[in-house]
Structure 1
Amino acid sequence: MRTIFLALLLLSLMGNAQTNTYKISFENAAHHEAKVSISFPDIKPNSIIVRMSRTSPGRYALHEFAKNVYGFKATNSKGEPIKVERPDPYSWKLSDHDGTVNIEYILFANRGDGTYSQIDETHAHLNIPATFMYAENFEHRPISVNFDVREDLNWKVATQLKEESGTTYSAPDLYYFMDSPTEISDFDMKEFDLDDQKIRFVLHHTGTEEEFAEYFDKVQRIVKQEKKVYGELPEFDYGKYTFLACYIPNASGDGMEHRNSTILTSSRSLSEGGMEGNIGTVAHEFFHAWNVERIRPDELEPFNFAEANMTGSLWFAEGFTSYYTGLILCRANVRSEEEYINGLSGTFNYVWNSPALEYFNPIEMSYQAPFVDAATSVDPVNRENTFISYYSYGSVLGLALDLSLRQKDLNLDYFMKLMWKKYGKTEVAYKVENIEKTLKEYAGDQFASEFFDKHIYSSERPDYKKLFEAVGIKLEQATKKDYFGAYLRASEDGLVIAGNPVKSGPAYKAGLDSGDIIINVDGNEVSTAEDFNSVLSSNEDGNIKVVFRRFGSEKETEVSLETDPAYSISLDENASKKALKNRKNWLEAK
């Protein structure tokens, strides 16, 4: 027994000796700076590589966080400088140490969202990959981090990291650390217990206690309805899940899921539109606690912090989550049935009428994520005609699958529950073929094969009119020919075509292009979108003459207007009793 005890003690001491320790302080928060120091002990090789991440959990594009680092220094255990080389823009090679490598640097951070960090005198909003360096080949070491908070600003710490003492927290390894955003501010917090676990809502805002109480009531209803889909909560680490919400003027709108927490950011306060406008992100991100954090695409395991992360399953991971976002708001009585149904039109029309269906199926749309997921580029692209967001595409496919299953007296809730039992609760990563296989188990081979062959491996549109009719919903299209097929925006130079015209639309067919400035329509001068629409509304035959300026030269073309391809989606007042019953079973609280 004594031998076992000594062995465990030795292992414990060895583990502590190999703990990488981090510290961050905010003396110059007024100018968006933090001072970071890190110690890597017990280093055997003569040199190590430390680096800033290029990606962030939940994001799929590259983000060059190293650009915001300066004042870098590296020393040994005695504080003596060691050799520093730069093998690439993201890394520092450190050599000739004495077994310990200590580094320090200054971080500039001024974007409060789900990817970057923001430091000022209102808060230290930290996404870990955007904040802290790490050492290659030491990813499995435990980490201790001390947040040296500004007591003069009444700052407190909120995070999914394990609290050790005071403002010192720990992570079992780099992956957990990187996945643990942290909000440090004078925030408010409410919590409730559900199935012996704590659901905490941290809110950094400028509103009132009454506003927070009203909002928190909605949060509780959402959490409980999402639990009903899967039948149980995930087993959250340390028995708690934390919403980290920043609804302040200097934040940027975003939401980002993590294993036991989520970031929610918005410049809208609860009193100025946030009470309704921000709540959808709450529903979306908490649903990710099951679908994407634990029901996890195989290509994202392990997550790569040095390269872009790509998976063909985002139509399911993000898209089906988006479908449930609106549905859950309805079931939780945050939105009415009519608000939910009417709200389907925007996403439906965006997907249904997109020329991009010609080029990519949902899997291939998912592959585009590294180019579109908060990615940046300076050259023009043709996304209007070649890309559909996998959030939206997957959302309308989730709708179609749910309504199709309900015609077989099945439903998407039970399918998601089966995915949870097979791949989420067990945390066995899945591939696209595993989704199809699970659907075959649930709904039969023929049903699943047909759905995947038509709508996942190909881009065929489901028969939404028939599906909607079964739940008492009307799908209708306009008849007047007043569709132009390009977005117009008033500018100092005139009424400009902003963005690429829709492929095969009237403007596209007439040879009009992005950047063209429309001067005159049917002999009428136009300078605003209202002017333009006024001319179209009085047009009789659907043909208009357009005078425009391109590259300084005046040109003329004739445009043959078409019927607006957009559909309206609404409740059918004449729906049958059976359709009304089907709708109730679909939308009612569980």
Structure 2
Amino acid sequence: MGNANLNIHFEISFTEPKAHYVDVTMTIRELNTDNLELIMPVWTPGSYLIREFSKNIEAFKVISEGKTVPHKKLRKNSWFINTKNFAAVTVMYRVYAFEVSVRTSFVDASHAFLSPAGIFLYPDGMLNLPSTIRIVPCNNWKTVSTGLESVNNDPCFFYAPNFDTLYDSPFEVGNQHVFSFTAAGVLHEVAMYGGGMYEEEKLITDFTRIIEEETRIFGENPNMHFVFIIHNFNNGGGGLEHCNSTVLGVSRTAYAAEKTYQDFLGLVSHEYFHLWNVKRLRPEALGPFDYQQENYTTSLWIAEGFTAYYDNLVLRRAGLISPENYFKLLSADINNLENVPGRKIQTITEASFDTWIKFYRPNENTPNTTVSYYIKGSLIALCIDLLIIHQSNTAYSLDEVMKRMYKQFYKTENRGYTEAEFRIALEEVAGCTLNHIYEHYINGVEELDYNHYLGYAGMRLRVCPPENKPLPTTGFTAALTAGKLIVTQVGRDTAAWLAGISVNDELLAINGNRIADLEKALQFQLPGDTIDITLIRDGRLLQIPLTLENQHKIKYQVEEINEPSVTQIAVRNKWINL
């Protein structure tokens, strides 16, 4: 193809950061074609939702030798350029960047965070082409942080060997606080935006423990240089993995309290584990990517669920949390799964496949119809891990599967795995079939037999006794909105579900008494009592009888059994590194 030798250079500047704009100039040289089609991705890897990044582009124009070059928008994210008789063209456009998240770009007077899939266009069919990127900071900005390698040690000039690498390399531009350390033989840079109550040396120590434990699992660290971009907000959360970096959101005060700091370290552990699991060891659908449409897989329960299993387990193995705290976190995951009605409706393979239309677009009925492939996937990983440790007499664990898969499919074959191939590896290491787990828990919706697997480690799942006083419930939740008490969610098969209460109903009274607080209105009621609810629906006054029931929520706790055997203790020691 005549375009194979295109020379592509981007210049990124910020003439109006207060108005949240990124100015992009894309220069394409060595043209040898009559036309060129430029594409904007519709999604960003790691966040499985069509986000329509092209909606933020404006002022698109093309020039060459001082003259305007004809172009036409073909589709929502595609621009066709007539390049006949031109050796080079310059494409200029602006991107509106004002969405705070780890996966979308944001610019204001204090900094710029660039999520590349929503910033950079690529020539159709030429994702393999290299490019250079010049960042032109605002006058008062001094630092650029990214996982890309610089050109000639220029702190604002970078090289991407292909567009997959470019789209996987976010930029933080501003006056972020930067510090560095070496762990597992790799130089790590931490770019802190927004302040925060952190202690630099403590972060270095704790990050190092996480990094070295996860590197031990896989046997090598695939990077020479890695960047943590951390956004500190009044309220923040979330993370997104990249091959050479990660972006984390956290509350500025999270570092000051044990529980919130532990949660933050769990996030660090989760996103760093993705260096191997997802970014390199990956389902076959997750690379090479099609940036113009959904990339479907039924294996996110492995890609995300197994990562969610390891995030807290790594903290325990690294000595960052106690066994007691680890079991509390495990109990919380079980509670989260077992109290969601959707676990009986959707399998985790279905949840993985439908993430594009469901996981990132939750609504009031989501808990009734869906299951988290993060949480259930992590608990299936737990069961398989304990099974492997038991079956192998503590010779192996799930670590062995992850290491073998990484070596075979990333290091040796350099391709994604199929779900069948992952199952083969699990069964080979376990030394037994996983028919029951796959049929009933992965491709089915049966309840996990926690005690069977926890029993291998001398542990059990206990149902905590209910409160002394019976607690009545309606089966719906409500919140004050503009002074009105509005129904926000109705639980599947609850009293409210059966009575016909609907989301968006405005609650006026119970038993003829005006209410503003649902819990207070029910404080003298008992399960089995029938109440009359007066509400407004679409401007009409309705009265609905509802019979209260007992609280459905069950609380579980993972705990040690009495007098575990030597074998059970050995399994537990292998599992959580005692």
- Normalised by the length of structure 2, the TM-score is 0.89
From the superposition, tell whether residues 248 and 431 of structure 1 become closer, same or farther in structure 2 (CA, over 3 Å): same
Q: Provide the alpha-carbon RMSD of the alignment.
A: 2.6
Deviation per CA, 1:264-317: give whole Å up to 9, x if none.
Answer: 123434556664443222111001011001111101221111112221100110
Pairwise mapping of residues 82-231 of structure 1 onto structure 2 (< 5 A)?
A: 82-97=69-84, 98-153=86-141, 155-165=142-152, 166=154, 167-207=156-196, 211-230=199-218
Distance 1:282 1:483, change over 3 A: same
- What amino acid maps onto 1:328 in structure 2? V
Deviations along 1:534-573, whole A, 9 cap, x unmatched? 235xx2x533324131413131313241353422214348
Where does residue 314 of structure 1 map in the other structure? Answer: 300
Query: 2-side partners of 1:158 and 1:84: how far apart?
Result: 34
Q: Report what 1:56 is aligned to.
A: 44
Which structure 2 residues correspond to residues 219-298 of structure 1 after superposition, within 5 A? Answer: 219-230=207-218, 232-236=219-223, 239-249=224-234, 253-270=237-254, 275-298=261-284
CA spacing shift, 1:404–1:127, aligned 2, 3 Å: same
Q: Secondary structure at 2:421's aligned position in 1?
A: helix
Q: 1:271-420 to 2 correspondence within 5 Å? A: 275-375=261-361, 382-408=365-391, 409=393, 410-420=396-406
1:368 Cα deviation from its structure 2 partner: 1.3
> Residue in 1 aligned with 2:431?
444
The 3 A distance-change label for structure 1 pair 411 and 523 is farther
Q: Report the alpha carbon displacement of residue 193 of structure 1 after superposing the two structures with TM.
A: 2.6
Residue 494 of structure 1 contacts residue 528 of structure 1 at CA under 8 Å; is this kept in 2?
no
Partner of 2:421: 434
* Distance in structure 2 (CA, Å) of the matches to 1:272 and 1:94: 54
In the alignment, is the contact (CA less than 8 A) between 1:314 and 1:366 conserved in 2?
yes
Evaluate the alpha carbon distance shift between residue 373 and residue 182 of structure 1 in structure 2; reply closer, same or farther with a 3 A threshold.
farther
- Of stretches 557-566 and 424-433 in structure 1, the one that deviates more from structure 2 is 557-566
Tell me if the contact between 1:478 and 1:565 (Cα under 8 Å) persists in the aligned partners. no
Deviations along 1:199-224, one digit per CA (max 9) or x if unpaired, are: 3322223146x622222322111112
Partner-residue secondary structure (3-state), 2:67: coil
Q: Which amino acid aligns with 2:220?
A: L
| 1:422-457: CA deviation from partner (whole Å, max 9, x where unpaired) | 2233333101111111112111342x2222122222
The amino acid of 1:257's aligned partner reads E
Native 8 Å contact 2:184 2:221 kept in 1: no
Q: Which residue of 1 aligns with 2:479?
A: 489
Equivalent residue runs for 1:13-24 within 5 Å:
18-24=6-12
Please tell me whether residue 453 in structure 1 is matched to residue 439 in structure 2: yes
What is the one-letter code of the residue matched to 2:242?
Answer: H
For the 8 Å contact 1:21–1:143, the answer to whether it is kept is: yes
For residues 494 and 85 of structure 1, do their structure 2 counterparts lie closer, same or farther at Cα, with a shift above 3 Å needed?
A: closer
After TM superposition, the structure 1 stretch with the greater mean CA deviation from structure 2, 311-320 or 103-112, is: 103-112
Secondary structure at 2:112 match in 1: strand
> Alpha carbons of 1:482 and 1:228: their partners in 2 closer, same or farther (altered >3 Å)?
farther
| Cα deviation code 1:165-188 (max 9, x no counterpart) | 311100111111111111112223
2:531 aligned to which of 545, 549, 560: 545
Q: Specify the SS of the correspondent of 1:458.
A: coil
- What is the TM-score with the length of structure 1 in the denominator? 0.88
Name the CA distance, whole Å, in 2 between partners of 1:198 and 1:462. 42
Q: For each residue in 1:140-192, what CA deviation from the matched residue of structure 2 results, as whole angstroms up to 9, or x when unmatched? A: 21101101123523x21111112103111001111111111111122233333
SS in 2 for 1:535: coil
C-alpha separation in 2, matches of 1:459 and 1:474: 19
- How many angstroms does 1:473 deviate by? 4.1
Aligned equivalent of 1:40: 28
2:183 and 2:211 in contact (8 A); partners too: no
Cα contact 1:55–1:63 (8 A) shared by 2: yes
Contact 2:27 2:88 in 1 (8 A): yes
Which residue of the partner structure matches residue 4 of structure 1?
none
Aligned mates of 1:524, 1:43 — CA distance in 2: 76
Query: Does structure 2 conserve the Cα–Cα contact (< 8 Å) formed by 1:53 and 1:129?
Result: yes
Q: Is the 8 A contact 1:291 1:317 kept in 2?
A: yes
Residues 253 and 266 of structure 1 are in contact (CA less than 8 Å); yes or no, is this contact kept in structure 2?
A: yes
The count of aligned residue pairs is 560
Deviations 1:47-97 (A, max 9, x none): 111122111121211111111111111012x12111111112212111144
1:423 counterpart = 2:409: yes
CA contact (8 A) 1:207 1:269 kept: yes
Q: 1:140 to 1:280 in 2, by over 3 A?
A: same
SS in 1 for 2:75: coil
Whole-Å separation in 2 of the counterparts to 1:421 and 1:176: 21
Quick one: which amino acid aligns to residue 91 of structure 1? S
Residues 206 and 195 of structure 1: CA distance in aligned 2, closer, same or farther (over 3 Å) = closer
| Alignment of 1:554 onto 2:542 | yes
Contact 1:201 1:242 in 2 (8 A): yes
Q: What is the rounded CA distance, in whole Å, between the counterparts of 2:530 and 2:320 in structure 1? A: 45
> 2:18, 2:497 → 1: CA distance?
50
Structure-2 change in CA distance of 1:549 and 1:563 (3 Å): closer
Residues of 1 paired with 2:233 and 2:118: CA distance?
20
- Corresponding residue of 2:63: 75
- What SS does the corresponding residue of 1:300 show, helix, strand or coil? coil
1:309-364 CA-to-partner distances (Å, cap 9, x unmatched) read 22110011001111111222222333332222223334323322433334332111
In 2, distance between residues paired with 1:381 and 1:494?
Answer: 18
In 2: Cα distance, 1:568 partner to 1:519 partner: 36
Cα pair 2:508 2:536 within 8 Å, conserved: no
Amino acid at match of 2:75: D
After TM superposition, the structure 1 stretch with the greater mean CA deviation from structure 2, 362-371 or 557-566, is 557-566
**Residue deviations 1:250-277 (CA, integer Å, cap 9, x gap):** x853211011211112343455666444
In structure 2, what is the equivalent of residue 511 of structure 1?
500
CA distance in 1, matches of 2:545, 2:282: 52
Task: Quote the offset at 1:373 in angstroms.
Answer: 4.7
Q: Secondary structure at the match of 2:33?
A: coil
Q: Is the 8 A contact 1:247 1:270 kept in 2?
A: no
Paired position in structure 2 for 1:5: none
CA distance in 2, matches of 1:445, 1:570: 26
Task: Provide closer, same or farther for how the CA distance between residues 71 and 491 of structure 1 changes in structure 2, counting only shifts above 3 A.
Answer: closer
Partner Cα separation in structure 2 for residue 49 and residue 269 of structure 1: 47
